[in-house]
Amino acid sequence: MVAPKPISLKALNYQRPETHRGYTDHFLDIDLSVPTIAIGTIDTKIKQTFIGGKGFDLWLLWQAVSGQTRWNDPQNAICIASGPMGGTPSFPGSGKSIVTAISPLTGSVIDSNVGGYFGPYLKFSGFDALRITGKSAGDTVIFIDGVAGKIEILSMTGLPSDAYALSDMLSQHFAADKKTGVSVVSSGPGAANTRIGCLNFSWYDNGRGRVRYKQAGRGGIGTVFADKGLKAVVARWEQVSLKTNRPADLEAVRAVAKRYAREIVELDPKQNEMARIGTTHLVPIMNDFDLLPTNNFQYGSHPAAALIGREAFEKLFDPGFDGCWKGCTVACAHGVRDFVPFTGAYKGCKVFVDGPEYETIAGCGSNLGIFDPFTILEMNFYCDTYGLDTISVGTAIAFAMECFERGLINRDHTGGMDLSFGNRLNALELVHQMAAGTGFGTIVGQGVRRMKAIFAERFGADPAMLKDIGMESKGLEFSEYMTKESLAQQGGYGLALKGPQHDEAWLIFLDMVHNFMPTFEQKAEALHWFPMVRTWFGLCGLCKLPWNDIVPEDNKATPEPAKVMKHVGWYADYYTAVTGNNATPEDLITMSETVYNYQRIFSLKMGYGTREHDTLPYRAVGPVTVEEYESRQERYDRQLTETHQVDIAGKDTPWKVAALRSRREARYETLKDAVYKRRGWTDRGIPTVATVKRLGIDFPDVLAVLAENGVT
């Protein structure tokens, strides 16, 4: 297919700022409404405070919006940035981008990280960050040509809505015979018709001769993208080497990259085999430890889980190098070649599926009572094609299915569909409906929080039950881990700034599988340190997986094995070598603490970010129903009698459900107190003035937000 002829709406020729020590010190500012293209500078103070990546995004977004800005206002900004280390080939996981915006799901600031080549190509084109505000008439493409030194806003009427067809066409159109030099950000029709749209970030797989994708999935940023009338943002760059970032100490970068890459090549085959099976290895582990979400998080295991685990997908994945950035030895971005969908527009055609990863398998598989890998592949493929977040899709459909099975909704509400768990055809039909904006899919595509309101107000469903089983917090759907038995992960989800997403505090593996934090105090401390170290990766353009998914052989013998401090030390060396700023592992935590607190106050600015917003549905804390309790009766009875000293003799299950609930809810509130204190926040969960002064973010507008909320 040939791309339609573009019409230039605005163009700017520019002298490309050179990268120096990982930075260009400039950002690209585009307003689609006027339209305008401007280049801004990033001064030393901003760079030292916000570091890069998510830090730069938040700083730019804060300047663009007021506390009254809503997600579909022109003032809302989509910000994309890499980070000072982003774009380094051969250092594992150095190709990440971070995207932020005001979310259509939460109403507050959301961030989402993604692989692919866009962030590095943006930076090498001269920009540490990109901010897009305003709205266009539609069918708009932004082209950032770092090779020619030209930026254009184009109208391209007639482009395909299908994400794969779109990126393939644009890669060919803008590549100038080098498709590996182009990266496309796009969404799809599902993003325009729901609140759970994702962004696809592309790279060109030269070995297979095709465009591949990673997704910035969380929070509906794809929906914001579609609302702005954007079809795509394209970046073009050419050669990348260790020198392209112009690091302060090239030989030091080379040495630490070689050391880290060598360790991964040696140890990954002995540990998780991510270069061969990606994150599918988590399925049997989560199932064995009763942590695999099943039937809307009611249960944590299922006898058929092996059908959708590593053994299934190692036979389906297409062999080959599958890194989403140049030279990444983790190489976990696997896919399935020649898959043939049995529904939708691609029915009967051979397609390539990018994935699935663990989250998609659990969300679109076990949590829907579906244990067929081919249905999961088809849902994965169509979600990417339509620009839908597989996590929100899975968790939202799971909620609808449980409501259907409990009689809270019926066929009159679903358009005649049987939404019993395991009904794979109707699960797929809902995905197609979401993309088309038709049928019951229009309701499911609003996300769990709005579904709860609709089911109660329109269909007369019990609001209390909906509140207990609707798996969202802050408006964001849960990612795919069972938290009932892990207080640490309850905090990891409930206290996460943006909502229940594991990339901020993924403690369940450390807590439940390795038992690295057995005491209450250790859990509270972990809910300070781990969100901070994880935030740091998002500041620097790095993937977290190499840090603790492949660990040194002697890690267990270290004083704090959960932290994998040997690797943290290597990251400090890497940061120092690129930026020239000497950093210790403790410095990395302080860098993150600054941005983390700024984001919390940003939420406060938007009307959120206090204790009452750090709540969880009770299903995330304990058993809601008699069936759930009795599925783990021995465990729960023992906790009541031994941990809480409750006499349960002669008591029935409903009594025990209530008794356990009161104690678990109290325990979660106590955890909040401990974490707030550790973070330097008030008992309402607001950073104190002393904390923001210590971190150097006591800007007048930050202090004004605190003062408006009674913190002086």
Given a contact cutoff of 8 angstroms between Cβ atoms, the answer to whether 94 and 578 are in contact is no
Question: Phi and psi (nearest 5°) for 202?
Answer: -100, 160
What whole-number distance in Å separates Cα of residue 213 and Cα of residue 199?
10
Q: What percent of the chain has pLDDT over 70?
A: 100
198 vs 216: CA distance, rounded Å: 6
Q: In this model, does residue 669 exceed pLDDT 90?
A: yes
Query: pLDDT per residue over 241-286, tens digit each?
Result: 999 999 999 999 999 999 999 999 999 999 999 999 999 999 999 9
Write down the pLDDT at residue 321: 80
Handedness of CA 159, 163, 167, 169 (dihedral sign): negative
* pLDDT at residue 508 in the model: 79
Range scoring the smallest mean pLDDT among 50-59, 317-326, 626-635: 317-326
- Determine the Cα–Cα distance for residues 555 and 267; give it in Å rounded to an integer: 12
In this prediction, residue 320 carries a pLDDT of 83
pLDDT at 697: 98
Summary mean pLDDT of the chain: 95
Angle between helices 390-405 and 448-459 (to 10 degrees): 30
So what's the pLDDT on residue 208? 93
What is the band of 513 on the pLDDT scale with cuts at 50, 70, 90?
confident
| Domains of the chain with bracketed CATH | 7-236 (3.60.9.10), 272-477 (1.10.569.10)
Percent of the residues in the chain that have a pLDDT greater than 90, as a whole number: 92
pLDDT in tens, 64-80: 999 999 999 999 999 99
Calpha distance 427→433 (Å, rounded): 10
Overall average pLDDT of the 78-85 stretch = 98
Q: How does 480-500 read in b/e, with b if 16+ C-beta sit within 10 Å?
A: bbbbbbbbbbbbbbbbbbbbb
Backbone phi, psi, residue 357, to 5°: -100, 175
pLDDT in tens, 2-49: 888 999 999 999 999 999 999 999 999 999 999 999 999 999 999 999
Q: Tell me the pLDDT tens digit for each residue of 391-410.
A: 999 999 999 999 999 999 99
Helix (H) or strand (E) holding 99: strand 97-102
- 116-165: pLDDT as tens digits: 899 999 999 999 999 999 999 989 999 999 999 999 999 999 999 999 99
| DSSP states of 23-70 | B-SEEEEEETTTTEEEEEE--HHHHHHH-STHHHHHHHHHHH--TT--
Reduced to 3 states, what is the DSSP secondary structure of residue 79? strand
Copy the structure tokens of residue 88.
Answer: 């380094």
pTM: 0.97
